[in-house]
């Protein structure tokens, strides 16, 4: 059984807030949890957050996780002309690659027109995780040209649902199960003027629930993969 824990590392709840509480308080707690559970995760950073919080990028890399790109400053690719979208991707890779290798990408809001696969390939990106099974993408893991698509399985708020409810959802997901969450979900957002589904069970409750999710899969003998590891796996299958 293959499971992936991924984080979209961005300012708080874009585009509604401009604060960075998730970076200051949420991400250190997430890194502590991943260390405690001995899980290597993928952290898709916006270049903007990497520039403002370089110590956290270094921690991600030093603790054995994968660093990926979540574009420059959370620009939505479906709302930009193609050449401008390309520029934001290239700029984000330039900044992030100063910290280490970057081979994976996730588009903000999981909005990713297919013509961007070629642009990723041209820029040395091997894996994309911008498609989402819960948004109707049904093709599973597959190559688009040179780039391997590893779709996200559920929306992020699922892993904040009460455990007895969310476990019914997990049981129905296709493999590999790719979860994603944001640092800002791990600080209390209950008082912010954002959508309800962005607020419930945020803070320490979310940390507790993510820990339960990891334990649940551990008990079943699941293997936790980073995005780059899927590329190695599927390259082998291709041969
Ligand atoms: Zn995002």
CA-CA-CA-CA torsion sign (22, 27, 30, 36)? negative
CATH class in words for 2-238: alpha beta
The whole-angstrom separation of Cα 124 and Cα 119 is 9
Q: What angle do CA 32, 67, 95 make, to 5 degrees?
A: 125
Determine the distance from the C-alpha atom of residue 109 to the mean position of all C-alpha atoms in its chain, rounded to a whole number.
11
CA of 46 relative to ligand 1 center, distance in Å: 8
| Long-range CB pairs of 133-139, under 8 A, 24+ apart, other chains included | 133/173, 133/174, 135/110
The whole-angstrom separation of Cα 203 and Cα 205 is 5
Residue 239 has pLDDT above 70, yes or no: no
The whole-angstrom separation of Cα 30 and Cα 34 is 6
pLDDT of 9 reads 98
The whole-angstrom separation of Cα 229 and Cα 6 is 13
Omega before 15 within 30 of 0, i.e. cis = yes
Share of the chain above pLDDT 90, in %: 90
What's the average model confidence in pLDDT over 168-184? 95
Across the chain, mean pLDDT equals: 95
Is residue 130 within a helix (H) or strand (E), and if so which, with residue range?
none
Share of the chain above pLDDT 70, in %: 100
- Give 38's pLDDT tier (boundaries 50, 70, 90): very high
Structural domain boundaries in the chain: 2-238
According to the 3-state scheme, what is the secondary structure of 153-191?
A: CCCHHHHHCCHHHHHHHHHHCCCCEEEEECHHHHCCCCC
Ligand 1 (ion): residues with CB under 5 Å are 8, 10, 108
Tens digit of pLDDT for each residue in 120-144?
Answer: 999 999 999 999 998 889 999 999 9
CA of 180 relative to ligand 1 center, distance in Å: 10
pLDDT of 31 reads 98
CA of 233 relative to ligand 1 center, distance in Å: 26
Tens digit of pLDDT for each residue in 186-238?
Answer: 999 998 888 888 899 999 999 999 999 999 999 999 999 999 999 999 987 77
CA of 217 relative to ligand 1 center, distance in Å: 25
Tens digit of pLDDT for each residue in 87-114?
Answer: 999 999 999 999 999 999 999 999 999 9
Q: What angle do CA 98, 132, 122 make, to 5 degrees?
A: 40
CA of 72 relative to ligand 1 center, distance in Å: 11
């Amino acid at each position: 059984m293959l499971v992936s824990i991924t984080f979209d590392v961005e300012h708080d709840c874009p585009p509604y807030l401009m604060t960075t509480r998730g970076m200051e308080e949420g991400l250190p707690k997430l890194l502590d949890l991943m260390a405690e559970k001995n899980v290597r995760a993928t952290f898709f950073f916006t270049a903007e957050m990497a520039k403002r919080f370089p110590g956290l990028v270094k921690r991600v890399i030093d603790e054995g996780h994968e660093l990926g790109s979540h574009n420059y400053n959370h620009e939505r690719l479906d709302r930009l002309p193609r050449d401008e979208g390309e520029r934001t991707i290239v700029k984000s890779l330039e900044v992030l690659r100063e910290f280490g290798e970057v081979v994976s990408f996730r588009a903000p809001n999981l909005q990713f027109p297919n013509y961007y696969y070629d642009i990723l390939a041209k820029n040395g990106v091997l894996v994309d995780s911008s498609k989402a099974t819960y948004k109707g993408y049904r093709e599973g893991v597959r190559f688009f040209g040179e780039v391997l698509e590893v779709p996200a399985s559920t929306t992020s708020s699922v892993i904040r649902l009460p455990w007895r409810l969310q476990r019914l959802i997990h049981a129905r997901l296709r493999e590999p199960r790719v979860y994603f969450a944001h640092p800002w979900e791990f600080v209390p957002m209950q008082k912010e003027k954002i959508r309800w589904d962005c607020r419930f069970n945020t803070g320490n409750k979310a940390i507790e629930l993510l820990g339960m999710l990891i334990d649940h899969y551990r008990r079943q003998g699941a293997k936790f993969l980073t995005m780059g590891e899927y590329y190695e796996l599927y390259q082998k299958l291709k041969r």
